[in-house]
Amino acid sequence: MEEPVFKERLSENEKEIIKPYFSSLEKNTFVLTNLPEVIKGTLFSRYSRSDKGARRLLLDEFIQNKDIAEVIGAGSQSDYSNTALAIKKAEDFYQRVLVGYGDDSVAELAGVHLACENISSLAADLLTDSRIGISPLEKSARYILFDKKIDGKYLWYRNKAIMSSKHRQIYEETMDLLFSSYSKWLPIVQAHVKSVTPKDPAATDRAYESATRAKACDILKNLLPAGRLTNVGLYGNGRAFEYLLTKLHSSNLEEAQLLAEDIHEELSKVIPAFVKRSKPSEYIIDTRAEMSKHRNKARNKESKTEPIKLVDYDPDGENKILAAMLYPYSDDTLDALLSKVKAMSPDEKKRLASDYLSKRRNRRDKPGRALENIYYTFELCANYGVFRDLHRHRQLSQERQELTADMGFDTPAELAEIGLEKEFKEVMDKAKEAYDVIYADLPNEAQYIVPRGFRMKWYIKMNLREAFHITELRSSKQGHPDYRKVAQRLRNIIFEKHPLIAEYMQVDMNDYALPRIESEKRIDRKLEELDMKKSE
């Protein structure tokens, strides 16, 4: 890229001072380096209201400030205690900036990598609820085995309320039963998978072992309860973490409140000013109390609900999308374009849709924003495992009902083939019995004991562009069969209503015996390429 004539004037001495903090001292495009997050955020907040460049700002307004210079210097030191001490000295400076601007968006300019370990799946769901500003990644039950004990104990959450109640014994026995069944059946299921899907000569032993193990984990992970311990890594900005903390502080789940305290304490070491205002929200707590009065007193056990139901959509959606396709390439108003589209013949509409969508090579070629002009509302009734996979999609609206054991559970077909269907049902029935007993006294905490094979209800509202993404990604060959079926059904329902556009959804409608094998082969090819480069 050709650089503009203007360049910031820096002396050689000044360049030497700020060299560690910028990826380039010459180019007009550069990355901030070796700076604490609080400084990055504060620097950029000043950046927006100054005629100086970032490098000159750092020199003139930060390095000249003794306390701030100490923070900057600590950013490249290995002694974290010094960094933490220095960051505290930056508080007053940051507050002056924040007060001067009065803009909460300043907190979006500092990001933090946060790890939350040994938390329940239930708590992990709360961490990953955020749609904007936080990117989560969780330990996968497909690739990680949960058959081990640590200090003689399986990895499930010991909830204080349950463990100090009369339900402790049934909780412990049921949780151990779920994990011991998983552990006992895992080698049996993997052996079955190998027997029905012989090794492809083109696959390495490593690829085949990984693919068959992933398939076995897929079959058995519906045994794992919501109290299974997991790890979640999150990258987010200060503003998003502030609201996440507010929600966790306000949760009616004790684990979430304890987690909020720990997260708050750790974030206060690196971005203290951004999370200072986080506290329990009276609005959230009071609203939950009021809305809970509307809850049905009697539990709706084993209610018959369609797996996927289209609740609402726009019948005239295709015309609106076609008009939006034309909009960036026209000087007409949107109303005029809509009238123009309505006057088109079916063949003209089909050609217009083709011109806009047919050049996509794969799902990574994102369709244009014209597809955001119509929405669909679906109610889903699927197992908790499916919810957890679809829950990761953030560009849509999702609301779920509480996890229960009242709506029955899904039994993997492979367990019937192996002869484990009866034992699986007995284990799941015992989990249901334990849930009912605990629910009578501790309804919130009873969720921990519900295995992910039990069905639950939630709704999603999404535009057609997001529908392209979710159906194409979740129908891909390596996906879990449970959510692949949901993605395929979503595509079919949308196609029934808007075939002109849905025709271009690249949804894989096939079934596969060993979903992960091609992905494992690709990994082998990449490993081989890396080995070749090392040997050069």
Q: What is the 3-state secondary structure (H, E, C) of 77-133?
A: CCCHHHHHHHHHHCHHHHHHHHHHHCCHHHHHHCEEEEEEEEEEHHHHHHHCCCCCC
pLDDT for 71 equals: 63
299: in domain: no
The pLDDT of residue 28: 78
- Is 385 part of any domain? yes
Domain finish residue from 109, 126, 161:
109
Please answer whether residues 117 and 245 qualify as being in contact, where contact means their C-beta atoms are separated by less than 8 angstroms.
no
**If 0-12 CB within 10 Å is exposed, 13-18 middle and 19+ buried, where does residue 393 land?**
middle
Lowest mean pLDDT among 173-187, 259-273, 475-489: 259-273
Same domain flag for 152 and 247 = yes
How would you label 497-514 residue by residue, b for 16+ Cβ within 10 Å and e otherwise? bbebbbebbebbeeebeb
Domain end, chosen from 421, 449, 477, is at: 449
Q: What is the CATH number of the domain that holds 511?
A: 3.30.1360.170
Q: Which domain holds residue 153?
A: 114-292+411-449
Question: Is 163 part of a structural domain of the chain?
Answer: yes
- CATH number where 137 lies: 3.30.1360
Q: Is 136 found in the same domain as 201?
A: yes
User: Are residues 276 and 420 part of one domain?
Assistant: yes
Q: Look at residue 3 and tell me if it is in a domain.
A: no
CA angle (82, 86, 88) in 5-degree steps: 125
| Nearest alpha carbon to residue 249 among 273, 220, 283 | 283
Same domain, 120 and 105: no
Answer yes or no: is pLDDT of 515 > 70.
Answer: yes
Same domain, yes or no: 253 and 313? no
Burial of 9 (0-12, 13-18, 19+ CB in 10 A): exposed
Q: For residue 473, what are the contacts with CB-CB under 8 A and spacing of at least 6?
A: 363, 479, 487
Token digits of residue 115? 């790890």
> Would residue 465 count as lying in a domain?
yes
- Asked if 226 and 140 sit in the same domain, the reply is yes
Domain boundary among 109, 142, 169: 109
Residue 134 falls inside a structural domain: yes
Rounded Cα–Cα distance for residues 499 and 71 (Å): 58
79 and 133 both lie in a single domain: no
Look at residue 67 in the predicted model and tell me its pLDDT.
61
pLDDT for the residue numbered 238: 86
Torsion sign, CA atoms 281, 115, 519, 478: negative
Q: Give the model's pLDDT for residue 94.
A: 58
**Which tops the pLDDT comparison, 185 or 66?**
185
Look up residue 268 and give its DSSP letter: T
How far, in Å, CA of 402 to CA of 295, rounded? 12
Instruction: Say if residues 106 and 49 touch (Cβ distance below 8 Å).
Output: no
For residue 90, the model assigns a pLDDT of: 57
Calculate what percentage of the chain has a pLDDT beyond 70.
88
Q: Is 157 helix (H, G, I), strand (E, B) or coil?
A: coil
Q: Contact 108/133 with Cβ under 8 angstroms? A: yes
259 and 359 housed in the same domain: no
The predicted pLDDT at position 103 comes to 57
464 near 494, Cβ under 8 Å? yes
Angle at which helices 91-101 and 66-75 pack, to 10 degrees?
110
Q: No. of H helices and E strands in the chain?
A: 24, 9
Domain count, the chain: 3
| pLDDT given for residue 41 in this prediction | 73
Task: Quick: pLDDT tens for 85-119.
Answer: 455 555 555 555 554 555 566 677 778 889 899 99
pTM of the model: 0.85
pLDDT for the residue 68: 67
The pLDDT of residue 79 is above 50: no
Burial (CB count <10 Å: 0-12, 13-18, 19+), residue 432: buried
pLDDT in tens, 330-357: 999 999 999 999 999 999 999 999 999 9
- The reply to whether 384 and 465 lie within a common domain is yes
Does residue 133 lie in a domain region? yes
Range 14-21 average pLDDT:
90
Among 34-38, 282-286, 361-365, the minimum mean pLDDT is found in 34-38
Say whether both 194 and 251 belong to one domain.
Answer: yes
On whether both 257 and 319 belong to a single domain, the answer is no
| Distance separating alpha carbons of residues 456 and 192, to the nearest angstrom | 29
Cβ atoms within 10 Å, residue 520: 21
Whether residue 272 is predicted with pLDDT greater than 50 in this model: the reply is yes
Q: Would you state the pLDDT for residue 366? A: 94
DSSP sequence for 206-264: HHHHHHHHHHHHHHHGGGSBTTBEEEEEEEEEHHHHHHHHHHHHT-SSHHHHHHHHHHH
Other Cβ atoms closer than 10 A to 461: 15
- Check whether 82 has a pLDDT greater than 50: no
Q: What's the one-letter identity of residue 472?
A: E
Q: Are residues 160 and 93 in the same domain?
A: no
Averaged confidence pLDDT in the chain: 88
Q: How far is Cα 273 from Cα 374, in angstroms, rounded to an integer? A: 40
Instruction: Give pLDDT tens digits for 281-318.
Output: 999 999 999 999 988 766 666 556 789 999 999 999 99
Q: First CA to last CA across the chain, in angstroms?
A: 32
Report yes or no on 301 lying in a domain. Answer: no
